[in-house]
Amino acid sequence: MGRGLLLMVQFFTVIPLRQEIRMDHKSVPWMISFLPVAGLLISSVLYSVVWLAEGLFSASPLMIAFLVWISLIMLTGGLHLDGWTDMSDAYFSYRSLEKRHEILKDPRVGAFGVLSLIVLLTAKLILLIDLANRDLIDAVWLFWMLVLSRTVAGLLLINSPLARTEGLAFFFRGFLDQKDSWKVGAVCIMLVLTGLLVSVGLWPLLLLLSAGALLFSLCSLHFFKKEFGGFTGDSLGACIEGGELWSLILVWCYLSIVMG
């Protein structure tokens, strides 16, 4: 379990861990099970950034939103954004399935990937700016958003069909079993309920985000099976980025419509 936790931190964040950790049938399942914890770690850093910017420097909502936005990119090292751009290049090529997988293997980024990345990052920034005006320092939904998006990615990695018999997703799947889904789910539930203790009044928003995460996972499963024949490592990165954007949209709708 300890090796799995360290592997998760080492692989899914930029937190420096200069230690060689062996990947095997004991450590990798725990690494994937602790994926929701990556959301906890990243959101903890984000809250620290918001607290310092607002409390120490009296930063404007625009500056706070920018700091959260740039921190989300930096804390993952752009790992998931790479998957988003690759999947966009392949999908918007409108080529055959074989050609799409060739595009996924190509290390170069095409025009569609760049445009899709600009749209994603711009949409996130605009939503964060609007939400920052509502005080991000008490935004427990930011924590839920990061935990749920990574939970979805972990469950899809364990249970969904794979598009190729090579690559990172295939490598990880070799160490995983469907029973590992319970560990991912248990870690997620424990974390999101802990967040609910901090903001009891936001339980309707938690239900909305949880239902949204379920809907997003089902739509992602259908989309990637239809368009790519299954999942790859890039697909999972795209799901995390897309899941975060989807959660931001849901939060914006909730706070704008339900709470006025």
**Residue-range definition of the domain harbouring residue 40:** 2-258
List, in order, residues 6 or more apart from 202 with CB less than 8 Å away: 140, 141, 196
Measured CA distances, 6 to 19, 29, 175, 177, 183 (Å): 9, 12, 17, 20, 16
Note the pLDDT of residue 260.
62
Take residue 52 and report the two structure tokens written for it: 């310092």
Domains identified in the chain, total number: 1
**pLDDT tens profile 101-126:** 999 988 888 899 999 999 999 999 99
**pLDDT tens profile 210-258:** 999 999 999 999 999 999 999 999 999 999 999 999 999 999 999 888 7
Instruction: Write down the mean pLDDT value for the chain.
Output: 91
What is the chain's alpha carbon radius of gyration, rounded to the nearest angstrom?
18
**pLDDT tens profile 142-189:** 999 999 999 999 999 999 999 988 888 999 999 999 889 999 999 999
The secondary structure of residue 202, as a DSSP letter, is: G
How far is it, in rounded angstroms, from Cα 95 to Cα 102?
A: 10
